[in-house]
Amino acid sequence: MITRKEFLKKSAWLAAGSALPLLGANKLFAASSLAGITILYTNDTHARLDPFPDNAVEFAGLGGIARRASMVNKIRSQEKNVLLLDAGDVFQGTPWFDVYGGSVDLELMTKMNYDAMAIGNHEFDRGTEGFAEAAQKAGFPILASNYQVKDTPMNPFVQRLLVKEFNGFRVGIFGLGIQLDGVVPRDLYGDVRYRDPVAWARGMSNSLRRYHHCDYVICLSHLGYRYSDERIDDLKLAGQVGGIDLIIGGHTHTFLDNPVSVTNPDGKQTLITQMGHGGVRLGRIDLNLSERNSPFGVNSRFYTIGKEI
Amino acid sequence: MINRYSLAVAFCLLIAGCTGLSSSKSPQNESKETAEGIYPEPDMMIASALEEYRLSLKSVTGEKIAMVTDTLQFGKPESPLGNLVADALRFRAGSELGQFVNIGIIGEISFRIFLTPGELTRGEVMEFMPYDNNLVVLSLTGNKIAELANQIAAQGGGPISGMRFSIADGQARGILVNSQVLDVNKTYTVATSNWVANGGDRYPALWQYTDRIDLDVNIRQLYLDYFKSRREIDPVTDGRIRR
């Protein structure tokens, strides 16, 4: 956890951005009509619909879904191709969740045109039925490839992957959920089964590349950024699974000012990013597709949402 | 919130010698640091959609729990809010078990807001302790209590109840438990949260307990009950940890 002072300092460059000319497009596409794709993302918003209160120990005055929405709208007015994604744990953290069980969050995220979210461990806080009740308000796919949800109330609301096409450029997105044993009480996750995220990530990335012909693959991961023990995390995942361009992470509430680059088994770079928690930041990654030649450029930046008090 | 601060400031101006706000890191003092000014205004559609739900939210969160007479913050070596949260654990554990509990402890990282003067609402207590933790009572040997005191001292202090000591060179000196000199051979009972006992806080001594009782008391509810029973919440320090 960073302190407020450090946080302010780190936020000061927020308009600067950093160039990461790392990634390679694996085929040519209709670049002339496609300047780029803008990926906006959040994680672990934890029912923080209002900004952090004035007497918050951390992040007083920051965040708030209405301010995030206006930032997103501003970017949408400037960029043609925008993806808006969340890496899970929308549920739990403020009285909004106690009263509404996440349904208001998912309804407002739908109004903001979120394209997809992953399932965080707190999405189980009201059991599989509580999830299903709130998920009825989600007008976007909820992604978890390594949770087997058949024969549970969650089944109609969860899918493994999603493909978005922008003028011939295909972006594949899949979700990964964290181990349930020891993280989520058993009576809450019920008959949902956790499967090996590495195996399922390989399957998803393979499927998205080969059968869905995706040019860019994003993993929405709620595994966590880094653990010192053998638990799977985003860093280990990136080193073990090829074909993923970007991991948008969550769970560990990690503030990464810049994406971290890991060489994957294909010898290519997988970027890992995460935006802390509470909707304090909105992350942004721009794929610059205006050049006909690969590799195409990637720019990363973030916005601090709200007013520091 | 803002009104509450202006009230507090006015209150301090009226009463000479009031140091509650001037010595603390008041949110108003920090506002001058904000210079970037690029923060977006709220989106009206989302904001108004949110307002439609706020009424039901307020019916739950708006309930008055207690009155706070002055700002209560966490701090070191001891602090009004630290003393309060640790006392509440110890007292509740005692009444649950029907026996005296020696010590209460919980790190301030378990709490997400501090208390400001005025009405304390249910919503604020929910923010204050947002986690679904439960109360546990651990049994520790006197040796481990001495280690615990040193771990608190190494951090410059922290929320503690039932214990008194001074800090010199990062070590706890003259440790008293319930007004008696610490006996390293005796066994003491310690009230805390399951999260702290499970290794979530920064007190490794607590993890080496000889016995553990998990009580069916939600910590958030514990603080709701405690604040309600107090009606008025005053900042109190009593020199339990001294430098």
Q: Tell me the chain B residues in contact with residue A305 when contact means C-beta distances shorter than 8 Å.
A: 39-40
Angle between helices A103-111 and A65-78 (to 10 degrees): 20
Q: How confident is the model at residue A291 (pLDDT cuts 50, 70, 90)?
A: low
Cβ contact A221:A176 at 8 Å: yes
Q: Which residue of B has its CA nearest to A69?
A: B43
Per the model's pLDDT, the better-predicted residue between A13 and B113 turns out to be: B113
Q: What percent of chain A has pLDDT over 70?
A: 86
Cβ contact B38:B203 at 8 Å: no
> What pTM did the predictor assign?
0.83
Q: DSSP of B30-44, one letter per residue?
A: HGGG-----PPPPPH
Structure tokens at B74: 């966490």
How much is the pLDDT for A49?
98
pLDDT above 60 for A4: no
Which 3 state secondary structure label does DSSP give A94?
coil
How much is the pLDDT for A293?
55
Q: Rounded to a whole number, what is the distance in Å from the CA of B122 to chain A's nearest CA?
A: 9
Structure tokens at B164: 């008194």
Q: Which residue has the tokens 């700002």?
A: B71
pLDDT tens digits along A127-142: 999 999 999 999 999 9
Give the mean pLDDT of A13-19.
37
**Candidate from A109-113, A265-269, B26-30, B60-64 with smallest mean pLDDT:** B26-30
Structure tokens at A115: 């394209």
Give the class (CATH, top level) of B61-234. Answer: alpha beta
How much is the pLDDT for B105?
98
B contact set with A (CB within 8 A): 1-2, 5, 27-28, 30-31, 33-34, 36, 38-47, 49-50, 53, 56-57, 60-61, 74, 108, 111-116, 122-124, 126-127, 130
Do the Cβ atoms of A53 and B124 come within 8 Å? Answer: yes
Q: What is the distance between the alpha carbons of residues A203 and B174, in angstroms, rounded to a whole number?
A: 62
Q: What percent of chain A has pLDDT over 90?
A: 84
Q: What is the distance between the alpha carbons of residues A123 and A133, in angstroms, rounded to a whole number?
A: 11
Q: Tell me the chain B residues in contact with residue A92 when contact means C-beta distances shorter than 8 Å.
A: 130
Query: Among candidates A205, A214, A300, which has minimal Cα distance to A243?
Result: A205
Q: How confident is the model at residue B9 (pLDDT cuts 50, 70, 90)?
A: very low
Q: Tell me the chain B residues in contact with residue A58 when contact means C-beta distances shorter than 8 Å.
A: 112
Give the mean pLDDT of A284-308.
83
pLDDT above 60 for B21: no
Q: Rounded to a whole number, what is the distance in Å from the CA of B6 to chain A's nearest CA?
A: 13
List the beta bridge partners of residue A142. Answer: A117, A158
What domains are defined for chain A? Answer: 4-304 (3.60.21.10)
Per the model's pLDDT, the better-predicted residue between A23 and A110 turns out to be: A110
Q: How confident is the model at residue B222 (pLDDT cuts 50, 70, 90)?
A: very high
How much is the pLDDT for B87?
98
Q: What is the distance between the alpha carbons of residues A246 and A241, in angstroms, rounded to a whole number?
A: 12
Mean pLDDT value across chain B: 87
Q: Which residue of A has its CA nearest to B71?
A: A55
Domain regions of chain B by residue span = 61-234
Cβ-Cβ contacts under 8 Å between A and B: the total is 112
pLDDT tens digits along A48-106: 999 999 999 999 999 999 999 999 999 999 999 999 999 999 999 999 999 999 999 99
pLDDT tens digits along B225-239: 999 999 999 999 999
User: Buried (b) or exposed (e) across B117-128, using 16+ Cβ within 10 A?
Assistant: bbebbbbbbbbb
Q: Tell me the chain B residues in contact with residue A12 when contact means C-beta distances shorter than 8 Å.
A: 36
Q: What is the distance between the alpha carbons of residues B80 and B90, in angstroms, rounded to a whole number?
A: 16
ipTM of predicted complex: 0.86
pLDDT tens digits along B105-162: 999 999 999 999 999 999 999 999 988 899 999 999 999 999 999 999 999 999 999 9
Q: Who among A50, A60, A66 is closest to B27 (CB)? A: A60
pLDDT above 60 for A292: no
Q: What is the distance between the alpha carbons of residues A82 and A192, in angstroms, rounded to a whole number?
A: 32
Q: How confident is the model at residue B20 (pLDDT cuts 50, 70, 90)?
A: very low
**H helix intervals, B98-141:** 122-128
